[in-house]
Amino acid sequence: MNFQNLQFLIIRKTLIAASFISIIILYAFDEITSLFWFFYGIIISILNFRLLALNVKKSIRMTPEKSRIYAFTGYTVRYVLNFIAFMVAVKSSATGLLLAAAGYLLIKAVIIADPFLNHLKFRKE
């Protein structure tokens, strides 16, 4: 499996998990705006994941000094993007911030849970 396929596999699994969690959110909060903030966090998370992947892929081909500067610049851009995104959620409401953070952390949860789920899947066979 190459680098590109792995990225899209993780994003696909995140969106599948998000579809199940969105049903729970609709029942729990009973508002469509809560679903908006959840997917807002997921979009920011996927954007950060993709920017990080592109940053790593490009910096591997650079000299160490250029790579260090490029990585720091990408790091700074991603965190400024996160700051702006979460400030928008904070200005909205506390629930918006909570749901945006849940959506933001979902891709990380998928990455961590994937090896355990694969282990359980192959253990049964």
Q: What is the pLDDT of residues 50-73, one digit of tens each?
A: 999 999 999 999 999 999 999 999
Give the predicted TM-score (pTM) of the model.
0.85
For residues 16 and 122, the model is more confident at: 16
DSSP state letters, 56-98: HHHHHTS-HHHHHHHHHHHHHHHHHHHHHHHHHHHHH-HHHHH
Average per-residue pLDDT for the chain: 90
In the predicted model, is pLDDT for residue 86 greater than 70? Answer: yes
The two three-digit tokens of residue 21, written as one number: 């969690």
